[in-house]
Structure 1
Amino acid sequence: MIMLCEGVANDWSVLHLRTVLGASESTAAFAYGSFAAAMTIGRLLADRVSARFGPAAILRYGAGAAAVGVTAVALSPWVPLALAGWAVFGAGLSGCVPQLFSAAGHAEEGAAGANVSRVAGLGYLGMLAGPAVIGWLTHLVPLDVTFFLPALCCLVAAATAGVLRTPRSATPARPSEVGTTG
């Protein structure tokens, strides 16, 4: 579900700003740019945040923030608010996929490769299917209304984050240990 949301932003963010909010082509391009920049920064920081708060917290609060961001996009009549919403959506999603891949690798001893490949395959299926589902939904409702689907997916991911498996031997790092080596 999380990668479905990423696919929606990849394929529909610019078109949303252009066709729904009437932004110029050059301004509309910032929709994906703000999403991607926020996601990149978030992914660079996700390991440190995960070490401090744990992977379930990353998924729970990240997906929750992403739901808020894409809901702001869906409801916004203003380009600047929509751009901020796309950025919050990207920042929220940024740590979720890496945590899911990590959990898949630790779910079953001796089957890390198979588990990660299954999760990746299903994730990329979602990334490909999400934009197509949004396209189909636009025949039924306006484009901005379709963004409630990724918001719902994010809320489901946030609500089920507690089932995320982590390494059995790992304990959360104390704040003083985060970022230290040795």
Structure 2
Amino acid sequence: MESPGGKGQPVDLLVEAFRKGKPGAFEAIVQAHQDRVYSFCARMLSDREDALDAAQEVFLSAWRNLSRFRGEAALSTWLLRIAANRCLNRIRRRKSLSEREAPWPESPGEEGEAIIFQPAGGEADLPDRLAETGEMREILTEALSQLDPGSRWMVLLSDVEGFSYEEIADLAEVPLGTVKSRLHRARMAMRRLLSPVA
């Protein structure tokens, strides 16, 4: 059975299929991007339920606005821009309601595993290396949670998602120099937070 969302099909073809009203096209787009969008939201919001709600909002917004997507950036970049905006709005809403930002999970709780920092790249399969990496992820997650939300999402995009400075500048709609200086300050802050561990 042919599907517009077949594996390996370029996303721009899926966008075209969606615009032409082909059945299953949008579901294929969601399937291709849902894990990345959810992971980003979870790291930004440090709350599983909030992240699920935000990810749903991202795809609802995408469904409403996909006809206006011009393809100047990758679809994943466009979706992460929506995700960043949704997450920042939720964080602002928390603060406006005088609620403290949800604590960054440090260990598995009653509702399941904590969401942890997952740096890009492969890992060795040796048990001692994996244990060491797991501890470092928890330390990095804690440090990342202490950054202000604006800096946190830039670090996530750059150091976790692998976005270039230019792509982040496009996402944030700020000059390239602003991105470089904000990332530099955020990384210096993380270095200070991590210095007792190093």
TM-score (norm 2): 0.27
Name which one, 1 or 2, has greater alpha-carbon Rg.
Answer: 2
Relative to its length, the structure with more helix (as a share) is 1
TM-score (norm 1): 0.28
